[in-house]
Amino acid sequence: MTENKTALITGGGRGIGRGICLKLASLGYSVAVNYCQDHKSAENTVTEIKSMSGTAISVRADVSNSVEVSKMVEHINTVFGRIDVLVNNAGINIDKPFLEMTEDDWDRVVDTNLKGAFLVSREVSVLIKAKKLHGNIINIGSTTAITGRKNGVNYCSSKAGLLVMTRCLAKELAPDIRVNSVIPGFTRTEETRERFKLDTREEYEISKRDIPLKRLGDPKDIASLVAFIISEEGAYINGQKFIVDGGENMI
Ligand code: NDP
């Protein structure tokens, strides 16, 4: 039963985060759509949820800022009275060759992708425990946390940290809160559309090279797995990582 349950999705205004917001709203969750800079996209997601007769608010916070995170969680608690599900989805890339990567490039990516998940998880976990709820945290990872990739030492390291954070928290927060990682493969979002120039390159050409299922991922592919893990049917899943990449990385 999702009646009265609330989900917070960081970076929920667009891309994979938006897909997760829409899915959880369709299951009856009240949704808090976090954003940092892109207020318009977050409001569009809220409007979309309301048009499905769902309940949603947008809430601004830079996840790497503990004061803003604290205020965000307090605000959601004031509006909805609880948070049952947290999806740590907010993430950025600043790709550069290792020898050119600056300290600032490292700090911005690690602060958003890793410290951000730490700060939001801590605030939300305190609330879940205080309310004596059974909650879920989902961390959105990357296969490059396992494989590594060129020009992404900051990003891959942050996602590797997130993977082990999942396991630490799964041990520490159980049995009240289950913690799992969902790891997308190459998924079509605004970010990947621009970064990989998907509109000018043939997607099929890219995908048929590496992906056995011969297509890029869709945010819906990620959202449906998140929904399963947090459901009653996923009640015995804890501390795991699940890769959704059409078979590209069988790791
Ligand atoms: P997008 O760039 O489309 O979205 C990123 C989201 O993160 C935006 O909503 C953005 O909000 C938010 N965000 C960035 N910085 C902050 C911050 N400091 N505080 C709060 N929110 C922030 O990315 P995708 O949808 O493609 O990716 C989502 C997640 O999935 C990321 O963690 C990414 O690493 C991971 N992933 C994506 C893959 C893909 O192929 N798309 C593959 C593997 C992993 P705003 O604009 O308001 O700042």
Q: Is the CB of 198 under 6 A from ligand 1?
A: no
Q: Is the CB of 91 under 6 A from ligand 1?
A: yes
- pLDDT, tens only, 188-233: 998 888 888 887 777 767 777 789 999 999 999 999 999 999 999 9
Q: Is the CB of 191 under 6 A from ligand 1?
A: yes
Nearest CA to ligand 1 atom 25: 15
Q: Residue 198 CB: number of other CB atoms within 10 A? A: 17
90 CA closest ligand 1 atom index: 7
Question: What's the gap in Å between 158 CA and the centre of ligand 1?
Answer: 13
CA distance 152 to 116: 18
- What's the Cα-to-Cα distance from 78 to each of 72, 90, 246, 249, rounded to whole Å? 10, 23, 40, 42
φ, ψ (nearest 5 deg) of residue 218: -120, 145
**List 29, 35, 155, 204, catalytic entry:** 155
Q: Residue 50 CB: number of other CB atoms within 10 A? A: 12
- Short-list 166, 179, 194, 4, CA closest to 83: 4
User: What's the rounded mean pLDDT across residues 154-173?
Assistant: 98
- Would you call 236 a catalytic residue per the annotation? no
| Superfamily for domain range 6-189+219-244 | NAD(P)-binding Rossmann-like Domain (3.40.50.720)
Asked if the interface predicted TM-score (ipTM) of this complex is over 0.90, the answer is yes
Q: Residue 220 CB: number of other CB atoms within 10 A? A: 13
Q: Is the CB of 152 under 6 A from ligand 1?
A: no
pTM as predicted: 0.97
- pLDDT, tens only, 17-57: 999 999 999 999 999 999 999 999 999 999 999 999 999 99
Instruction: Indicate whether 127 pLDDT > 80.
Output: yes
